[in-house]
Amino acid sequence: MILWAVALVVVLAVPSLRTGDRDWWPWACVSGLAVGALGWVYLRRGRGNAADADAPIRVPDAVRRVGER
């Protein structure tokens, strides 16, 4: 995310990097920052947390009965 912020500052500081066919470059940096921020919030809230990956998986009784045939 820091690299997207640095890239945005560079693109905004150098006018030739955002004119002509490159007018989308600042928006690429902004969207990279936005997606990175959403991913950071998603992980900080606990979704995708590796600590929960070792929790035992509960198999519903109905599935267990089907497998016992």
pLDDT at position 33: 96
Residue 34 located in a structural domain: yes
Structure-block tokens of residue 3: 């690299």
Domain tally for the chain? 1
The Cα–Cα gap between 33 and 28 comes to: 9
The Cα–Cα gap between 62 and 54 comes to: 23
pLDDT at position 1: 83
Residue 4 located in a structural domain: yes
The Cα–Cα gap between 26 and 64 comes to: 54
Based on its alpha-carbon atoms, the radius of gyration of the chain, rounded to whole angstroms, reads: 23
Q: Residue 30 sits in which domain range?
A: 1-9+24-41
CB 40, CB 1: distance < 8 Å: yes
Dump pLDDT digits (tens) for 11-69.
999 999 889 999 999 999 999 999 999 998 888 877 655 665 666 667 666 655 655 65
